[in-house]
Structure 1
Amino acid sequence: MPDKIALVTGAGGFIGHHLVSYLVEQGRQVRGVDIKAPEYAPSRAQEFALLDLRIAGNCEKAVAGVDEVYHLAADMGGIGYITSSHAAITLHNTLINVNMVKSAREAGVGRFLFSSSACIYPQYLQHKPDVTPLREDDAFPADPEEGYGLEKLYMEKMCQYFTEDWGFPTRTVRFHNVYGPLGTYEGGREKAPAAICRKIAGAEDGATIEIWGDGQQTRSFMHVDDCVEGIVRIMQSDYDRPLNLGTDELVSIDELVDMVAEIAGKRIVKRHDRSRPQGVRGRNSDNSRLREVLGWEPRIALREGLQPTYRWIAQMLAEKADAPQVQAAE
């Protein structure tokens, strides 16, 4: 009997790339699919297909012969991108998500996991830096992040309806700010930990770096190793409603900057730009239900996870600086 195949969509992206490696290390046969190949290291998937999942026929190709789907593909990025691209994000992700869950059900896939986001949570609960950790039941009455958060919440309900009405097994995971090596660290789609690591790695000792907002906005951050383990645990569980996946270690952005500067061994001066997007004032994960369902929660402390993340980004910048510059022909 042939090995059962796990499909990872978004396998060319940050979390998807790490998830492929985790599944392969567990002895799984993996098919990776994305519109692009991984940027920083080759995929370990036994199969990898470049497919635009906004096209229904490509979703049908992607799910053919697979036993379970880890659906991570999405048009997304950091706060700068998701606050300036509502139309594109909503259109692209709606097409990707609807086509994928429909194709998976029609192909008889055994189980389908959807990667949602803490951006689905109501903005009216996130006005203060000392935010109360968000529980899964807090999603309604709804007031999600415009665009990205709204389409994620809609897809969560789509998964619920597919399960309730048609018996199609789905799982939904709400990510809270994932970081780690091999993630986007420049170009406008990077998240706060990667952006801060990049700025500090590129700065001289005693230099000034720009911080978006006033630095008092708070977040919790989860290392990608904890993230991929949690994804697989949730897929294997019997729980079919949304689950938070994050840490409850709340820090301000200024505290995050100080932590990275200490890891780098540099003195850094902060210059706050309050005109730049900063998102909600505070967001933290309540992991009570995650612990109840899985008997597990993310374990990697922020300082511990930032060390290899910073080293990798600093290495990437150093290699780029040392690379020979190609002169354009006159």
Structure 2
Amino acid sequence: MKRVLITGAAGFLGSHLCDRFVNEGFFVIGMDNFITGDVSNISHLSKHPNFKFIEHDVTEFIAIEGDLDYILHFASPASPIDYLKIPIQTLKVGSLGTHNLLGLAKAKQARILIASTSEVYGDPLVHPQSEEYYGNVSTIGPRGVYDEAKRFQESITMAYHRFHGLETRIVRIFNTYGPRMRLNDGRVIPAFMGQALRGEDLTVFGDGLQTRSFCYVDDQVEGIYRLLFSDYVYPVNIGNPDEITILEFTKEIIKLTGTNQKIVFKELPIDDPLQRQPDISLAKKVLDWEPQIGRSEGMKRTFEYFKSLSKEKLYKREHKDFTNHIKK
């Protein structure tokens, strides 16, 4: 039985990856320090014979007993609320954490896949964004702690590949959504759905004409799975190229939820990307992958999940002064 370590296992994407690899017959070692993860995301795996959980911070030395065939590094804050609230930890998990895991992969002779992000493109001057684009990123802006952590992550991964001959893979993840997202974590879909479920007005930052492209989690996991077992070592965009403005998306949320909230506009956060759409030509070519689940179906599934949450989670605020915080 092949053994895989998945960091960030209690997070949104990490937990779905744990499910996928357990179902594919792997022995999965999940690792998380719960700085942003939620134990409920993996509680259903707690008694599974092919799943083991280790509570650990990957910025500290990592020791895994026995053989290890694959590592998927998904430990990182991923929402604006998180990396604005814990900027130092965000930088450390992208640098020290990645270094530790690359060292572990080298010691175990394991293949490692690193979770990067579309944020490496910053506020892009090229549209849509292909893997050949180098990005437009502010190193000193409030989002720089996340953007630069991921850019460094890619650089050190390629250095280990070139210098040590390590088997590495890099996925650039575009906006992904689905069950197990934290309802009030500041990202577009859970923010809007949380406001709709609570009967609050929907908050749009800027004029709402900025664009995003949303990929359902099952499609994202499939792309990541194919990339891990491909022979391609350079970054690959995984996302859904179906682009929509935030304002139009807000109207879709109102229609889906059957609510009648107003739309209120607030100041656009510093360095917030105005356009985000993946060019997935490379993924189609090297992975034979493209998304299968449309936004209408994916949003229905996600809304049903959010509706099932307890009132405690529905009304929990991740960061009360988020609107003011992002302007600093």
| One-letter code aligned to 2:211 | T
- Is structure 2 residue 283 aligned with structure 1 residue 290? yes
- Is structure 2 residue 68 aligned with structure 1 residue 70? no
In structure 2, do the counterparts of structure 1 residues 301 and 278 end up closer, same or farther at CA, with 3 Å as the change threshold? farther
251-260 or 41-50: bigger deviation = 41-50
Indicate the residue corresponding to 1:136 in structure 2.
Answer: 131
Indicate the residue corresponding to 2:117 in structure 1.
Answer: 117
On the 8 A contact 2:204/2:265 being kept in 1, the answer is: yes
| One-letter code aligned to 1:262 | K
The correspondence of residues 48-197 of structure 1 with structure 2, limited to 5 A, is: 48-56=53-61, 59-61=62-64, 64-74=66-76, 76-83=77-84, 85-109=86-110, 111-125=111-125, 132-139=127-134, 146-186=144-184, 189-197=185-193
| Residue-by-residue CA offset, 1:110-165 (whole Å, 9 max, x unaligned) | x100000001114352xxxxx61100010268667511111111111111111112
- Is structure 2 residue 229 aligned with structure 1 residue 231? no
What SS does the aligned partner of 2:170 have?
strand
309-318 or 21-30: bigger deviation = 309-318
What SS does the aligned partner of 2:293 have?
coil
Report the count of equivalent residues: 305
On the 8 A contact 1:217/1:253 being kept in 2, the answer is: yes
1:317 Cα offset (Å): 4.4
What SS does the aligned partner of 1:137 have?
coil
Larger radius of gyration: 1
What SS does the aligned partner of 1:7 have?
strand
Work out the CA distance in 2 between the residues paired with 1:98 and 1:262: 46
What SS does the aligned partner of 2:212 have?
strand
- Is structure 2 residue 264 aligned with structure 1 residue 271? yes
In structure 2, do the counterparts of structure 1 residues 318 and 213 end up closer, same or farther at CA, with 3 Å as the change threshold? same
Work out the CA distance in 1 between the residues paired with 2:246 and 2:106: 42
TM-score by length of 2: 0.86
1:250 Cα offset (Å): 0.6
On the 8 A contact 1:20/1:32 being kept in 2, the answer is: yes
- Is structure 2 residue 1 aligned with structure 1 residue 14? no
Indicate the residue corresponding to 1:327 in structure 2.
Answer: none
Work out the CA distance in 2 between the residues paired with 1:22 and 1:93: 24
In structure 2, do the counterparts of structure 1 residues 275 and 238 end up closer, same or farther at CA, with 3 Å as the change threshold? closer
Work out the CA distance in 1 between the residues paired with 2:237 and 2:257: 31
TM-score by length of 1: 0.85
Work out the CA distance in 1 between the residues paired with 2:305 and 2:149: 32
- State the percentage of identical aligned residues: 27
1:84 Cα offset (Å): 5.5
Work out the CA distance in 2 between the residues paired with 1:192 and 1:200: 12
For structure 2, the residue ranges without an aligned partner over 5 or more in a row are 316-328
| One-letter code aligned to 1:91 | K
On the 8 A contact 1:239/1:293 being kept in 2, the answer is: yes
Indicate the residue corresponding to 2:249 in structure 1.
Answer: 256
For structure 1, the residue ranges without an aligned partner over 5 or more in a row are 126-130, 323-330
Work out the CA distance in 1 between the residues paired with 2:138 and 2:313: 42
